[in-house]
Each structure stands twice: as C-alpha cells, then as structure tokens.
Amino acid sequence: MVLVTRKASFSASHRLYNPAWPDARNAEVFGKCNNPNGHGHNYDIEVTVGGDPPEDTGMVIDLKKLADIIEAEIIERVDHKNLNVDVDFLLGTIPTAENMAIAFWNILAPKITEGTLRSIKLYESANNVVEYRG
C-alpha cells in the first residue's frame, strides 16, 4: 500500500467551553481557550489516502482531485469562520482539534472514491497536532 498526503490551510476562531458546566469549571479545564470572545488559529490539515497505485495511472488518487475535494468540502466551510456558530457540521460539539478531525473524516471518507482515507492530521499550531484514523 502507498500513502499519499495533501496539505491545506485555513484560519478560524473558536471558544472552547462546555455549556453544561459552570464558568469556573470551564475556565479551569480550558484555560486561555475559554476566553469569552474567542481566539484564532492558523490551522494546517493533512489528508492521507492509501491504496495500490493502479497500473494504468500509477496514482493512488489524483492529488488535484483530492485538493479539490478538501477545498470544497472542508476549507470553504471553515476558513475565516467562527467554529462555534458558523459551521453547520460542528454545531453542538466543542470545536477542539480532536472533534474537528473526526468531523472532517466523516465528511471526506465518503467523498474519496480512489484509494481509501487513512488519516486526518490537524495542526492547531506548530506544536499541537491531532491525528484521526477513523
């Protein structure tokens, strides 16, 4: 099996809080990320697709097609958005990188018909990255 990866970037804001908890517990658990008026990140996403390259194309997936899928299905829906209120598929979830990676997987997996989705990596900063493998 060969793994191929396409990267993309977006910027978005969010606030981490659990509406079921009192303010003090939210502040304790989420710290600075609980700032009432939110804060922003420059996110990087890496989408990895695996498969055997077929003889006729030699490509697991056409990376231009994968780039277009990521752009249309993810980037256009989250870039320059408030992840708490603007993004339909994140409503009702705490918009941590973990939950975002799972949501991105659930959107992208059925759209990828060449090869199989293997991994979503979401970098919230240079040092903080989460990976979801389905």
In the complex, which residues of this chain contact Ni ion (CB under 5 A)?
33
Tokens in use for 26? 């939210």
Nearer to Ni ion, 5 or 96 (CB): 96
Give the active site residue among 71, 114, 124, 131: 124
Give the active site residue among 33, 39, 76, 98: 33
- What residues contact residue 72 under an 8 Å CB cut-off, 6+ apart? none
- Residue 124 annotated among the catalytic residues of the structure: yes
State the nearest-atom distance from the C-beta of 47 to Ni ion, in Å: 21
- Residue 98 annotated among the catalytic residues of the structure: no
Q: Give the integer Cα–Cα distance in Å for 101 and 123.
A: 10
State the nearest-atom distance from the C-beta of 118 to Ni ion, in Å: 26
Q: Is 31 left (phi over 0), alpha (psi -120 to 50) or beta?
A: left
* Cβ-proximal residue to Ni ion, closest one: 33
Nearer to Ni ion, 33 or 49 (CB): 33
Q: Give the integer Cα–Cα distance in Å for 38 and 32.
A: 9
Give the active site residue among 80, 98, 114, 131: 80
Nearer to Ni ion, 5 or 93 (CB): 93
Nearest to 71 by CA among 94, 101, 47: 47
Catalytic residue IDs:
33, 80, 124
